Structure formats: structure tokens, C-alpha cells
Structure 1
Amino acid sequence: MKFYSTNNKALRTDFKNAVFHSLPADKGLYMPEEIPKLDPLFIKNITQYSLQDIALEIAKLYVGEDIPEAALKDIVADAINFDAPIHFLDSETGVLELFHGPSFAFKDFGARFMSRIMGYFSKADDQLLDVLVATSGDTGGAVALGFLDVPGTRVTILYPKGKVSKVQEQQLTTNGKNIRAIEIDGTFDDCQALVKQAFNDSEVNQQLRLTSANSINISRLIPQTFYYFWAYAQLRLQGIKEVVFTVPSGNYGNIGAGLLAYKMGLPVKNFVAATNANDTVPRFLNSGKYEPKPSVQTLANAMDVGNPSNWVRIQDLFDHDLSALQHLIRTYTYNDEETLKGVQEIYDKYAYVACPHTAIAYLAAKAHRGEYPGTYASVLLSTAHPCKFPDAIPADVFQHVQLPVGAEHFDSKEKQAISMSANYDTFKQYLMSNK
């Protein structure tokens, strides 16, 4: 399959090039030249398949011409070696738990699949692959663990100083080896801008073989469709056929993957984009004017994005048809005070501890059902384990968090990070002098 730029559909390239050159030369984002459809019979019989079976079937549609099926099967088995179960709060509300991977966040799906894809393509290459990534929280840890000790790769992670949780910071700054962390005095948008500038700098690209691990990379988006189909399979086993997915939304890669799955044939009634104070997309869907603004720090820090990169992909998926987007996507926005009340309410009603992002999704799903009652299942995506947010969850609730295996070792590791201003010349000098 070929991939085109959202800025120029005549600009086509193959999957390997789209993976390694995350941003097209015209600064758009790569999209598949056609949205492949899953066989309707496969979807009808989806309860017969495992998560890995579903993942392989989807992956073949996008990369089958570039990677032999046997090798792709091994990649999927190695990358997606953990579950994504639905925890039902009640008969009509389920939480899709996407935090059972090694970094305890949904980013594990994309980061692990991407790292193994890159590892496969890089086997015959001698030049070091430099992976640049900006993170607002969970991406950094997932990418760090996904690429740790992968031969021929080096990862540089940029994160905003003081704007990620302690656990998130430990995950991305304590690995050493081929993982480097840079603490930027600024916002996530500043970090993302530095990464994009590096990709568009011809001098840097002549010296370094750069690629991105952010959700701008198409190999991050594809594996995120896996768990939407897997969720549908679990619902079908419960006799549920109609679903509304509520997605905590920051950079809009997660809901973008859900919308891609919808275009591939996944039966979905609606999507709900649940947001915090960073409400650029909700304002656009209400007014028709896209007006990004500087990001605002909140308790749900992974959603603190003022100018979401993946929104251009979503608009491209729907041919910039605002009415189609308004029909399919509903939005609800919550502040920190409401988020904390959501965390408390979920625990009081269901004895379930949720991270701030999941709490926002819960509030949005509740509001949506109140506005649009029906017999559908509300499935909210839980994007991270609550253990990663000790300072954003009320103490009387956080005391009930059960640490997953591996989380207890964070405090014993030493932070390794370089502090830097949000100045591109400084960042460029670092890259060029640390080749």
C-alpha cells in the first residue's frame, strides 16, 4: 500500500519510507492511499479471534506487501503480548483498560509495534536510527521501554519541565543505555515544535537519520485500531452490538485510530471526545473555526495539547466535511475540579480507581448518555494506570491503587535528564554535537 501526504495527495511513498520519514517534505502527515476494509465475515465472526489474531489481520492490510506474513506475525506476537480487557462498571458502561503493557499506558500498543517494525527494516542498515519524540506524559515512557536495547536505535525524548507526573518522569528518565531525556522549560507544544523543526532542518537530516515516535508516525496509528476491534469482540461476547466509544483526547491520535477503525468497517454508533481545558477541537466543532491556543496545564496532563497534530488526519479521513464530523463526534469538556469529582464518583459508586484522563472520559460518557439515551454500550478508554498519578488523585482514593508488577522499582532508579530551554538553536546544537 502507498501513503500520501495530507498536504498533497499526489505525493506518494511506501510503508517503509512513511515509517522512517515520519513527516512528508511538505510538512503534512502520511495517510493510506485508501482505507482498507476488513472482511465483513471476519467482523461477523470476530468473537472467534484473539487480540493477536485481530491485530495481524489489520496489520496485513497496511503492511502485507512490505513485510512477509510470517515475520509480521512474529512482530505482532512480540509487540502485543498483553491484554486490553473491558471492565464493566455496570450493565451499560465498560472501561477498556489499555494500561496492561510495560509502561502502564495505551501508548504501549503503538510504541512496541513501531519499534519492532523499525527493527525489522533496520536489520540490514549500518547507520544509527535517531528517534525523536515529544511527550506530554505517557508517550515518553512507552517509547523508552519500546525501544530500550533495540539494536541500531537511539531515542531522544523531550518533555515539559514540571508538567508530567513523577511516575511518568521516572519512566522516561531512568533507562539510560540508548534512551536520552531532555527536560524542556516550556509546554508540550514547545517540545512538539522542536521535534518538527528538526525534521524540517536539512542540515540536521544530512547528519542524522531521524524518525519520529510520536503519533504523527503512521506506524503508531495503525496498531491503535487493534484494541477498538478487540473491544467490539468482547462486547459481542456479552450480546452487545451497538457501542459508543468515549476517548480522552489530547493530540487526537487515539480517537483518530478509532475513526480509522470505523472507516475500516467497525460498527460504531458514535465517538465522544472527552477533553480538559485544552478545548481547541470542541470549539472547532461548535464554531467551524479552527483556532489553536497555547496549552494549559491540568491534572490530566497527557491531554494538555493546544494544537493537536492528528486533527489534520481526522479531517482528511472525512474529506474536511464538518457536518459529518459533527454527526459522528460529540464533545464534552471538564476542568480540574470536575475531574477530581469524577475520580471520586467512580470510586464511590463502583469501587474502581481511575486516572484523571479516565475520569474525564467517565464524565463525558455519563453526560452523553443523559443527552442521548439508548440501549448502546458506553465504552470509555482508560489510557493509563492510576498508579502514575499519585498527585492527581485524592489520597483517600489513591490508597486503594494496586501497583502493577514493575511499578515498585521506579523510586530506586536515578533520573538522567538534560535541562534545556525551548530554543531550537540550542536543541539543534545538542543534536549535532552528540551524534
Structure 2
Amino acid sequence: MKLYSTNNKDLRVSFKEAVFNSMPQDKGLYMPVEIPQLDADFIENIDRYSLSDIAYQVASTLLKDEIPADDLKALVEEAINFNAPAVKLDEKTFVLELFHGPSLAFKDFGARFMSRVMAYFLKDGEQLLDVLVATSGDTGGAVALGFLGVPNTRVTILYPEGKVSPIQELQLTTNGANIRAIEVKGTFDDCQALVKQAFADEELNKTFRLTSANSINISRLIPQTFYYFNTYAQLKRQGLNEVIFSVPSGNFGNIGAGLLAYKMGLPVKQFIAATNVNDTVPRYLENGVYETKPSVQTYANAMDVGAPSNWVRIMDLFNQDLATLKEKVVGYRFDDEETLSGIKEIYKKFDYIACPHTAIAYLAIEQYRKDNPKDESAAVFLSTAHPCKFPDIFPKDMANEINIPTQVKALENKPKHADKLGVDFQGFKDYLLSK
């Protein structure tokens, strides 16, 4: 598997190099030189395969000979050791539960796969690997648990002060060992900017072996394709062959993985990019003007991203052809009031409790159906986090019904450890060098 930079298509690096470098020096993002097609027979008979089987087939098709078959199969089975059920709400509506991993968020797919890929490639005696990650909520917890105790690695998590939920913060700040957290007095975009500046800094790159665990790292994107293929398999078992995916979208890695799956041969009729008021992409799809803006805090905090990094990958997948992209992707945005209404509507209609991100994806499905009344495809909206992470969002009667997983209860008695920094890069650089 060879990869290039979205800023330089003549560049060629191996998968291993892309994983450890995370981001090219030209500040582009790595993309596969060739997007291989899955065998048509495999797609046609995908309903016969388990999630683990599907994950291995997709990974081996993409990675080719980067990791020997037996090693890759063992890696995939260890990383993806939890389910992702498409729960049927009515005859044509499904919610894809992606929160059954250890951190209770969809990002466990990417973080666990990536940490094991890095551990596989790391050799004894090599320089310590410093993993930098910015989080708006769920990424940090998934990365922390994915890398906790992994030899020869150190993880630094940057998160915006006061803009993650209490449970999310506990997942970031109570690990110790090789995990450290920094509370940044700013937004997620500020955190993300600090990480990107670090990768471009010559002194830091000479001093440390830096890589990222954000979705800018290609090894985060690959395993997220697994659950799109697996969902299609689940629907095929029920006689459904046309599917629409509605994806809660923040940094656009999740829907980017879905579009990569589509380019590999997954038959998807439509993708819906569902955002909160941080609506850079829906505005672009409407008016053709890509204009980022400072992120705004919302109930769906993992989507509070004003400058989504992965959008360049999506445009690259479609060769910068906005017209063709718009045939496959439509965008909708919803504010906090609408999000709360969506939570209540799902509960009333289906007796189902959804987190705010999930509610936004549901609202987008409903809006799409109003705009396309003749489309009778099965619709799947992605549930990206367990509702217990957002206890203050729900009305009291709903909150009382949420099952609190044991791993969350265990966090409550652990002390928080986080350093505090501002948004200036020199302060972050000095912190890294001093530590």
C-alpha cells in the first residue's frame, strides 16, 4: 500500500511511514495511491460473514502485503472484539450502535486498530513514540484506552476547557501511566491547531518521534470502514439492499471512512452529513463556498468543529469535483433546541434513548425523507456515543432509564490529573520540551 499527500500526489510513502508520520510535512493528509475494489462475490455474499471476517477482508484488501496475513488477522480480531449492531426501529429505519467498545464511542474502532498497528511496527530499543491527539470529546478517551500500557509509547491529549462532558473528562484525565492530559483554554480547533503546528515544527521533530492519533492518521480511517460494510451485511440478512447512511459529522473522519468504503465497492445510495450549528460543510454543499469559522459549543460536543480536517480527504476522493460529490453527499444542520426535540422524538416513537450526536443524525434522516418522499431505501443513522456520557442533556425521566456501564462507575473514584495551557503554540512547545 502506497500513499501520497493531498498536497503532493507525486509523494510516495509506505503505510508504516504514514502511520508513524501521521501528517506529511507539506501539511496535507495521506491518501492511498490506489483504492482497491473488493471482490464482487464478497460484496454479494457479505451477509454470510461476521464483523471480524469483514474487517479482515477489508483491511487485507487495502493494506495488501504491509502486514502478513496471519498477523493482520490476529491484530484485527484483538482490536475489533466488540459488536456494532444495527438496531431495527421500524421496517426501514435502523440505528447503528457504535458505542459497545471500552470507551463507549465509535472511536474505539480507530483507536484500538491504530494502537495495535503501531505496537506491531515498533521495535525494541526504538525511540519513544510520542502520540499527540486533540479531542472534542470522545477521541481522547478512545485513544487513552487504546494506548494505555502499550510499551514505548507516550500519549498527550489536548482537550478544550469546559467543553467536554464530565464523563468524557474522566476518561481523559484518570489513566496515568503513559497517558497525560492537557486542558487548553480554548476550543477544539485551537487544540487541533496546536497539534498540527507541532508536526510542522523542526525542533520538535528532531527531539521527539511524533505521530497523531486524530483522524488525520490514515490508520484511524481504515478500521472505520469496517462497520459500514458490516451494517450492509446486517441489512442484507433482512432482505434490504438499498441503504442510506446518516452520519453525525464533526471532523469528517467518520463519513470520510464511509465514502472510502463506497469507493471500494460498498453499494450505498446516499450519505447524509449531519452537523450541529458548526455547519461549514452543509453551507459549502449549499453555496459552493468553503468558509471555516470558529467552532461554537453545543450539546453535541464531539461535533464542535469549525474547520474539519478530513474534508480535504473527501474532496480528494471525488477529485475536487463538487458536482459529483453532491450527488452522493447531502448536508443538514440542527441547533441545540432541535437536537433536544430529536432526542424526545426518538424516545416517544421508539422508546430509544439517543445521545445528542445520534439525535442529529436521526433528524437528518427525517429531513432527507421529507425532501425525497419517493425514496424508500433503508436508512441507518449512526449512534456514535453511549447516552450515559451526556447525563445533563436528558429530561430527568429519560436520564433515570439510562444504564450506566461498569467502566463508567469505576471512573468516579479516580482523581483527575491534567495540566493547563493556553492556545499559544510556544507555550505548548515549551511544555513538550520541558517534559
TM class by shorter chain equals over 0.9
1:218 aligned partner: 218
State the match for 1:7 in structure 2.
Answer: 7
Decide whether the 8 Å contact of 1:132 with 1:211 is kept in 2. yes
Residue pairs, 1:264-413, within 5 angstroms: 264-373=264-373, 374-413=375-414
1:424 is the counterpart of 2:414? no
- Is the 1:131–1:153 Cα contact (8 Å) retained in structure 2? yes
Helix, strand or coil at the partner of 2:366: helix
Aligned equivalents of 2:307, 2:40: Cα separation in 1: 36
C-alpha displacement of 1:325:
1.3
Specify the SS of the correspondent of 1:205.
helix
Q: Which residue is equivalent to 2:109?
A: 109
Deviates more, 1:161-170 or 1:55-64: 55-64
Counterparts of 1:349 and 1:287 in 2: how far apart (Å)?
A: 34
Q: Which residue is equivalent to 2:245?
A: 245
Residue number in structure 2 paired with 1:138 = 138
Question: Once the 2 structures are TM-superposed, how far is the Cα of residue 394 of structure 1 from its aligned partner?
Answer: 2.2
CA–CA distance in structure 1, aligned partners of residues 64 and 330 of structure 2: 34
Task: Give a deviation string over 1:350-372, Cα, whole Å, max 9, x none.
Answer: 11000000000111101111211
CA contact (8 A) 1:215 1:221 kept: yes
Partner Cα distance (2:370, 2:65) in 1: 46
Question: Distance between the aligned counterparts of 2:250 and 2:126, measured in 1?
Answer: 36
Residue deviations 1:55-103, cap 9 Å, x none? 1111112223121111111110100000000111111100000000000
Is the contact between residue 356 and residue 393 of structure 1 (CA under 8 Å) also seen in structure 2? no
One-letter code aligned to 2:434: S
SS of 1:195's equivalent in the other structure is helix
Asked whether the equivalents of residues 20 and 118 of structure 1 are also in contact (C-alpha less than 8 Å), the reply is: yes
Distance, in Å, in 2 between the alignment partners of 1:91 and 1:62 is: 34
SS in 2 for 1:272: strand
Q: Distance in 2 between matches of 1:363 and 1:285?
A: 18
Q: Which amino acid aligns with 1:324?
A: T
Opposite residue 385 of structure 1, the aligned amino acid is: H
> What SS class does the counterpart of residue 345 from structure 2 fall into?
helix
Deviation at 1:119, TM superposition (A): 0.1
CA–CA distance in structure 2, aligned partners of residues 393 and 103 of structure 1? 20
Q: Which amino acid aligns with 1:425?
A: Q
Q: Secondary structure at the match of 2:406?
A: coil
CA distance in 2, matches of 1:50, 1:256: 23
1:8: Cα distance to partner?
A: 0.6
Tell me, in whole angstroms, the C-alpha distance in 1 between the residues paired with 2:426 and 2:171.
27
How far 1:125 moved relative to its partner?
4.4
Deviation at 1:375, TM superposition (A): 2.1
CA distance in 2, matches of 1:107, 1:251: 12
Q: CA deviation at 1:218?
A: 0.1
Q: CA deviation at 1:407?
A: 1.7
Q: Distance in 2 between matches of 1:199 and 1:331?
A: 31
The aligned residue for residue 32 of structure 2 is 32
- CA deviations on 1:361-397 (whole Å, 9 max, x unpaired) are 1111011112113221010000000000012222221
Note the alpha carbon deviations across 1:159-198, whole angstroms, 9 max, x for none: 0000000000000110000000000000000000000000
Match of 1:412, SS state, is coil
SS at match of 2:151: coil
Amino acid in structure 1 at the alignment position of 2:313 = R
User: Which residue of structure 1 lines up, in the alignment, with residue 181 of structure 2?
Assistant: 181
Partner amino acid, structure 2, of 1:340: L
Asked if 2 retains the 8 angstrom alpha-carbon contact of 1:246 and 1:273, the reply is: yes
Question: Partner of 1:393: helix, strand, or coil?
Answer: coil
In the other structure, the counterpart of 2:93 is: 93
CA contact (8 A) 1:340 1:394 kept: no
Give me the whole-angstrom Cα distance separating, in 2, the residues matched to 1:281 and 1:41.
Answer: 35
Q: AA paired with 1:199?
A: F
- C-alpha distance in structure 1 between counterparts of 2:140 and 2:308, whole Å: 17
User: How far does the alpha carbon of each residue in 1:203-233 deviate from its partner, in whole angstroms, 9 at most, with x for none?
Assistant: 0010100000000000000000000000000
Distance 1:424 1:182 in 2: 13
1:127-154: CA deviations, max 9, x gaps? 1100000000000000000000001100
Q: Could you state the TM-score of these two structures normalised by the residue count of structure 1? A: 0.99
CA-CA distance at 1:404 after TM superposition? 2.3
Letter in 2 for 1:418: D
**Hey, what's the Cα distance between the residues in 2 that align with 1:344 and 1:411?**
28
Q: Give the Cα–Cα distance (whole angstroms) in 2 for the partners of residues 60 and 23 of structure 1.
A: 23
Question: Over aligned residue pairs, what C-alpha RMSD do you find?
Answer: 0.8
Does 2:78 align with 1:48? no
Give, in whole Å, the separation in 1 of the partners of 2:275 and 2:25: 31
Counterpart Cα distance in 1 of 2:176 and 2:134: 17
Structure 1 residue 48: Cα displacement: 1.1
Distance, in Å, in 1 between the alignment partners of 2:338 and 2:251 is 21
Q: CA deviation at 1:123?
A: 2.9
Moved more, 54-63 or 19-28: 54-63
- Give the whole-Å Cα distance in 2 for the aligned partners of 1:12 and 1:393: 49
Local SS of the residue matching 1:267 = coil
Is contact 1:22–1:218 with CA below 8 Å preserved after alignment? yes
Partners of 1:403 and 1:43 in 2: how far apart? 37
CA contact (8 A) 1:35 1:264 kept: yes
Which runs of 5 or more structure 1 residues have no equivalent in the other structure? none
Output the amino acid matched with 1:335.
D
How many residues align? The count is 434
